[in-house]
Structure 1
Amino acid sequence: MDVTEVTRTDHLDPTQISDILALARAADLADGAQPLSEHVTLRLRPDDPAPVDHLIARDPAGVPVGYAQLDRTTDPAAAEAELVVHPAHRRRGLGRALVDATIAASTGADLRIWAHGDHPSAAALALDLGLRRDRELWQLRRPLGGEIAEAVLPPGVVLRAFRPGLDDEAWLAVNRRAFADHPEQGRWTADDLAVRMAEPWFDPAGFLLAVEESTDRLLGFHWTKVHGTVTPGPVDPLAETSIPDPTRGLPEPVGEVYVVGVEPEAHGLGLGKALTAAGLRHLRDRGLNRVMLYVDESNSAAVALYARLGFSRWTTHVQYRLAP
């Protein structure tokens, strides 16, 4: 193994951040799947307050060729990790070294490790280390040129755009209730919302809210996103890869059903289908030809809804688990 060491730190300097982003880009181009998820890449930023561990493997010249991030912020008894190995340095034991270092750093926690793209080498390594397949996250896609259902809202409910600074608290409250059982989405804080609103891709016009017309009470939402476009404004040195772009290298932008949520008290009104359709129509009106979304394989109701709306599975991300 041509690696001198795997080091662990809780802070990255700008050079380290740039090197890790370059490493992730190289893996993305080789594999056709971004190796690090959105929240992991956001936590590379030097101003991110989350106390995560960064494990970096370097070659003899000191260049990072492997990276893992270990996050224990949501539960002190649990930990979650993601890792990436440079394509030119694979099949040399580096992935195993990073996983071993991650397990050691997790200090007996209930550890979960994501493998994006369900790569065979990740499955083989998991088998060798006794990690079991615990969760699947599907990426679904559909063209936007076909038929899109009408966005039929219940009487007394209207759509409007999200208003930054005015709708934040109401949205966070509904998001928490709508995703109370979701391991990531239901834990979003004001900081999580703010950091995404500061991203170059954020567009409040594509953040659709379903509200009671008489009271403006929030009942549901569809937050859309566009990958592969450039937003005018100040240049952010991390903007290009601050949010992983699963469409990198494709010839055109791709829309995303970023998150759809409904207030539990409003279930049964058909808002989920109506909001999804409204977002798809918004993305098509922006000139996009295709759209994607992420959904847990175990969420049979959501999978069935998206299938009825014309989505098909594109790829799979797998979470492996090492229980203490």
Structure 2
Amino acid sequence: MRGRGSVPLPRRGAGPAPPRAPGRAPRPAARRRPGGRWAQERLPRPPGLRATTPPPQRQASAATSVPREDGERGAQRPAKRPWEGHTTLVSTGPLVPSFLAVGSEAQGRRKSWSVRTYTAEDFGPLTLLAEEIHRLDAGAPLLDAARWRYVCSDPHADPESYFRVAEARDGDLVGFGYRFDPPRPDGGRFRAVQVVVHPKWRRKGVGTELFHATAGDPPEDPDWYLTSVADDRCAAAWPFARSLGFKKDRVMLLMERELPGTRLPESDSDARIERFLGPTAWADWARLYNRCFEGRRGFAPVDADTLEDNKPDGFRPEHVRFARVKGERVGYLFLRETSHGGFIEEIAVLPEVAGAGIGTALLISALEYLRDRGHLKVQLTVEESNTAALKMYARLGFDEVCRRIHVIKTPRRRRR
């Protein structure tokens, strides 16, 4: 008993509960186990989830009987409350994306494919695979027989050492990867890697293993970097490159023009267009290439012997055209002929004569040649920031087909 006006003393266990840190799960309910010991049941919770206890519910009966081994009903003991010993998981953050879950699940299963080194016997099946992939996915690079020979004949490529193919258990090819290691003017190198996987075999880890097997170990050069291309028509290309640590470097536009039934404009330039002839043709090509592309990322100087020794299969003198002004060759154009049409590989003009219509004259000459050869269309690529070239291509009837994102990955620098 206490007198009027006296202050009650706090009883043991009474009073408000101490504040709980925000986001912290409450203590799970404790119950008395047989044996007289108090224990708490804790369930492991995955990352991003917190544990909560459901609100108490009204009990239908306060006691239940425990059956004994002999079948008779034993003594009465308090019934287990429904919220004791249970845990509910509530999301408190972003869950794992579905494509990552699929990849981890595929890694846990037994693989039905393997990655091996490219051999000369893979040439035929690989070209058929590349054409089928391009038919199913327009964003995949089109590598027909002529284009694949051109890739394998690159002076900075070593197919039997660095090219990789993914092969299923039944022996069919399901993907491939190739790379180039061209030198830089400062003596260093960069590595261009491209991975192509059949749409039915994507999101199974094939592309990731192909990439690491093709790219190999990075060299000791601190300025070394990786490059690749992601086509915006392939929805999986850019997310795949980003998952590997690549970042956007520049955007190239793929442009196309129909050849039959269209009229080509006439050039108003004073430049004279001539074919790839003469004893100094290879030397002039190397000189113009070095002067026009010097200073750009990925540039590697070449000489006449290198160009002549590594000319692509199916090369013809008509595939290279020079522009001559006042007795000097000031620009050139290089094209390829494939089973799907013509492709303008390079078009370059010296900076001191740029804007005089020389590039237009070179391109019109190439379009006339491809049309006379019976090709239905011609394609080329141009950098998105090259506004002068974009205006020229628009005047000549070229339309944008897609955007190709050139991505780059630089090595992490170690802290000193």
Normalising by structure 1, we get a TM-score of 0.75
Q: CA RMSD in A?
A: 3.2
Number of aligned residues: 291
From the two aligned structures, give the one with the greater helix fraction: 1
Q: How far apart are 1:177 and its partner, in Å?
A: 0.9
The answer for the alignment partner of 2:165 in structure 1 is 56
* CA apart distance, 1:218: 1.0
In structure 2, which of residues 358, 363, 373 is the aligned counterpart of residue 276 of structure 1? 363
User: Is residue 24 from structure 1 mapped to residue 130 from structure 2 by the alignment?
Assistant: yes
- Which residue number corresponds to residue 152 of structure 1? 268
Quote the offset at 1:133 in angstroms.
2.3
Q: Are 1:177 and 2:283 counterparts? A: no
Structure 2 counterpart of 1:67? 176
Describe the superposition over 1:260-310 as per-residue Cα deviations: whole angstroms up to 9, x where unpaired: 221233334321222222322333344444322111223222122212222
Match of 1:126 in 2: 241
Unaligned ranges ≥5, structure 2: 1-105, 412-416
Q: Which residue of 2 aligns with 1:240?
A: none
Q: Distance in 1 between matches of 2:300 and 2:207?
A: 31
Amino acid at match of 1:136: V
**Deviation digits for residues 149-188 of structure 1 (CA, Å, limit 9, x no counterpart):** 212232xx42221117541111110122122244457645
Residue 91 (str. 1) matches residue 199 (str. 2): no
Letter matched to residue 351 of structure 2: P
Counterpart of 2:257?
142
Q: What is the CA–CA distance in structure 2 between the aligned matches of 1:16 and 1:271, rounded to whole Å?
A: 43
* 3-state secondary structure, aligned to 2:163: strand
Match for 2:354 among 267, 279, 289? Answer: 267
**Alpha carbons of 1:4 and 1:222: their partners in 2 closer, same or farther (altered >3 Å)?**
closer
Give the deviation of 1:5 after TM superposition: 3.5
Mean Cα deviation higher: 48-57 or 314-323: 48-57
The DSSP-based 3-state class of the residue aligned with 1:15 is helix
Corresponding letter in the other structure for 2:200: A
Q: Percent identity?
A: 26
1: distance between equivalents of 2:410 and 2:305? 30
Match of 1:298 among 385, 400, 414: 385
Structure 1 residue aligned with 2:324: 211
What letter corresponds to residue 18 of structure 1 in structure 2?
G
Match of 1:321 in 2: 408
Question: Which moves more between the two structures, 166-175 or 114-123?
Answer: 114-123
Q: Does residue 106 in structure 1 map to residue 218 in structure 2?
A: yes
Structure 1 residue matching 2:217: 3-state secondary structure: helix
Larger deviation, residues 18-27 vs 172-181: 18-27
The equivalent residue for 2:331 is 220
Q: 1:113 offset after TM fit, Å?
A: 2.0
Q: 1:203 to 1:322 in 2, by over 3 A?
A: same
Q: Structure 2 CA distance, aligned partners of 1:169 and 1:3?
A: 51
CA deviations over 1:98-126 (Å, ceiling 9, x no partner) = 23444553358422222345411112222
Of structures 1 and 2, the one with the larger relative CO (CA 8 A, separation 6+) is 1
Larger Rg: 2
Judge conservation of contact 1:179–1:185 (CA < 8 Å) in 2. yes
CA contact (8 A) 2:288 2:331 kept: yes
Aligned twin of 1:251: none
Q: Pick which of 88-97 and 106-115 moved more.
A: 106-115
2:191 to 79, 83, 87: 79
Mapped to 1, the partners of 2:120 and 2:191 lie a distance apart of 25
CA contact (8 A) 1:159 1:208 kept: yes
Supply the distance in 2 between the matched residues of 1:286 and 1:179 (Cα, whole angstroms). 30
Unaligned runs of 5+ in 1: 229-246, 248-253
